[in-house]
């Protein structure tokens, strides 16, 4: 049986309920809440990451005071000195999570302690001070409670949450900063796929890598995404949706997409996913899918997967389906895999749909939460 990862172990440690944590981030007065008309406009056309709520959570770190000034304040622009360290050296980390409204009106989130553990793993790598997991979860609770009217309820919709930390010291020397800001912003989001799951076409990039050995590929920091953008631009110019990156050490094994992990479903019913080799982000969705599949008796292997074995497996029929996964889209079928020297259609299959249905049903409270992944933020108001 698979051993849990360090992140999974940290995430499994019990944490206090929302009522106990609430109040750590004091809600500030707001004299310009968005109008009912503006709310109706946003909800009539929910997209992703475009519209934001009334509030944001915010705390500041200094060496003298640690994390302090924990507040939920009106959403708005930040003041940052042009010498602010993050603008020059990219010292920042972030997370991506969702709050869901259940049928009874209550509001929940999914594995927040996983994200708390992961942002601290990222912070350690970026020489950023860690945030107490209680503060991390409290910031989500206090923000979402203040912004409760922005949590949509239509199927597939959610309030996307973006916690992030950045170096705010004004200083141009190259060293870890002495001041940081932690914020959480929230964006009401529509269903990723409005007409059911849509397969994506992947371009395998042989020239660029998103991360390399000893780098930052296994943590969530802006630089990894910055390095993925040029390959993504080039892939989209030839009609591809996303880039599949190969490992930087050998340029032969599949790592992950720019913002999603990848799974390969074999015709014999087993499932493979690239082993966490230090360059791959340990996705919470990836972790959940492995546990769900194993709980149904599906053998899941985390291993080094060569691109050639995938190409050969698709040609021989040994590979039955492939999908990508992450918080935003949950599960996305892969319909085509191509690079300069091959172009293969990937069959679509039932495992991808079944895992999407099961995971989203748990998140929405329609299926028993056997793993204790759901965290209640607020009762129906
Ligand atoms: C590079 C990368 N890989 C994988 C994932 C999937 O992670 P998760 O399932 O925790 O959203 C993400 C999204 O956060 C990502 O940015």
CA distances from 334 to 48, 104, 186, 261, 262 (A): 21, 34, 29, 12, 9
Residue 104 has pLDDT above 80, yes or no: yes
104 — phi, psi (to 5°)? -85, 5
Judge contact between 256 and 246, C-beta under 8 A: no
Q: Pick the residue whose CA is nearest to atom 4 on ligand 1.
A: 260
**From CA 376, how far away is CA 95, in angstroms rounded?**
19
- Predicted confidence at residue 306, as pLDDT, reads 98
Identify the residues whose C-beta falls under 6 Å from ligand 1.
96, 256, 259-261, 281, 283-286, 326-327
> Can you name the CATH fold of 200-348?
D-amino Acid Aminotransferase; Chain A, domain 2 (3.20.10)
- Nearest atom of ligand 1 to the alpha carbon of 224: 1
**From CA 157, how far away is CA 364, in angstroms rounded?**
10
81 — phi, psi (to 5°)? -65, 140
Q: Pick the residue whose CA is nearest to atom 15 on ligand 1.
A: 259
**From CA 238, how far away is CA 235, in angstroms rounded?**
5
CB-side exposure of 274: number of CA atoms within 13 Å?
A: 31
Band (1; pLDDT cuts 50, 70, 90):
confident
**Helix H or strand E segment including 339:** strand 330-339
240 — phi, psi (to 5°)? -95, 150
Task: Answer whether 6-191+365-378 and 200-348 agree in fold.
Answer: no
Ligand 1 center to 260 CA (angstroms): 5
Domain boundaries defined on the chain: 6-191+365-378, 200-348
Mean pLDDT of 368-375: 98
**Helix H or strand E segment including 118:** helix 112-125
- Predicted confidence at residue 196, as pLDDT, reads 75
Helix axes 350-363, 284-295, angle to 10 degrees: 110
Judge contact between 202 and 255, C-beta under 8 A: no
Pocket test for ligand 1, best of 98, 259, 363 (most atoms within 8 A of CB): 259
pLDDT in tens, 163-209: 999 999 999 999 999 999 999 999 999 987 776 789 999 999 999 99
Closest CA to 7 of 117, 129, 112: 117
pLDDT in tens, 19-28: 999 999 999 9
**Helix H or strand E segment including 17:** none
Token output for 152: 């949509």
CATH architecture of 6-191+365-378: 2-Layer Sandwich (3.30)
- Predicted confidence at residue 327, as pLDDT, reads 97
- Nearest atom of ligand 1 to the alpha carbon of 210: 1
pTM > 0.85? yes
Ligand 1 center to 284 CA (angstroms): 7
Ligand 1 center to 283 CA (angstroms): 5
Residue 66 has pLDDT above 90, yes or no: yes
Ligand 1 center to 282 CA (angstroms): 7
Q: Pick the residue whose CA is nearest to atom 2 on ligand 1.
A: 259
Residue 111 has pLDDT above 80, yes or no: yes
Average pLDDT, the chain: 97
- Predicted confidence at residue 257, as pLDDT, reads 97
- Predicted confidence at residue 186, as pLDDT, reads 98
- Predicted confidence at residue 147, as pLDDT, reads 98
Band (2; pLDDT cuts 50, 70, 90):
confident
Closest CA to 217 of 282, 281, 145, 121: 281
Ligand 1 center to 36 CA (angstroms): 34
Residues 8-38, buried b or exposed e (16+ Cβ, 10 A)?
Answer: bebbeeebeebeebbebbebeeeeeebeeee
Band (244; pLDDT cuts 50, 70, 90):
very high
């Amino acid at each position: 049986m698979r051993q849990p990862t360090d992140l999974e172990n940290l995430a499994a440690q019990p944490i206090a309920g929302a009522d106990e944590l609430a109040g750590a981030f004091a809600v500030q007065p707001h004299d310009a809440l968005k109008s009912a008309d503006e709310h109706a406009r946003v909800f009539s056309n929910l997209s992703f990451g475009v519209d934001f709520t009334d509030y944001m959570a915010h705390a500041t770190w200094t060496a003298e005071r640690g994390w302090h000034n924990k507040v939920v304040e009106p959403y708005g622009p930040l003041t940052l000195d042009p010498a602010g360290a993050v603008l020059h050296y990219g010292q920042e980390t972030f997370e991506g999570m969702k709050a869901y409204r259940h049928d009874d009106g209550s509001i929940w989130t999914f594995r927040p302690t996983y994200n708390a553990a992961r942002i601290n793993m990222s912070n350690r790598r970026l020489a950023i001070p860690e945030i107490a997991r209680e503060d991390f979860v409290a910031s989500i609770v206090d923000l979402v409670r203040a912004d409760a009217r922005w949590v949509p309820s239509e199927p597939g919709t959610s309030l996307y949450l973006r916690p992030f930390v950045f170096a705010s010291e004004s200083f141009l020397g190259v060293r870890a900063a002495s001041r940081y800001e932690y914020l959480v912003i929230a964006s009401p989001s529509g269903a990723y796929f409005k007409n059911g799951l849509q397969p994506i076409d992947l371009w395998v990039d042989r020239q660029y890598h998103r991360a390399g050995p000893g780098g930052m590929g296994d943590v969530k920091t802006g630089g990894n995404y910055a390095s993925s953008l040029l390959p993504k631009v080039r892939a989209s110019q030839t009609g591809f949706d996303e880039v599949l990156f190969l490992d930087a050490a050998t340029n032969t094994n599949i790592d992950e997409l720019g913002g999603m992990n990848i799974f390969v479903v074999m015709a014999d019913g087993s499932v493979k996913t690239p082993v966490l080799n230090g360059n791959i982000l340990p996705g919470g969705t990836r972790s959940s899918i492995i546990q769900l599949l194993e709980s149904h008796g599906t053998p899941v292997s985390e291993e080094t997967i060569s691109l050639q074995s995938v190409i050969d497996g698709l040609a021989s029929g040994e590979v039955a389906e492939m999908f990508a996964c992450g918080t935003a889209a949950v599960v996305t079928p892969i319909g085509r895999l191509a690079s300069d020297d091959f172009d293969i259609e990937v069959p679509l299959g039932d495992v991808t749909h079944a895992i999407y249905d099961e995971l989203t049903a748990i998140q929405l409270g329609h299926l028993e939460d056997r793993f204790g992944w759901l965290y209640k933020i607020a009762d129906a108001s």
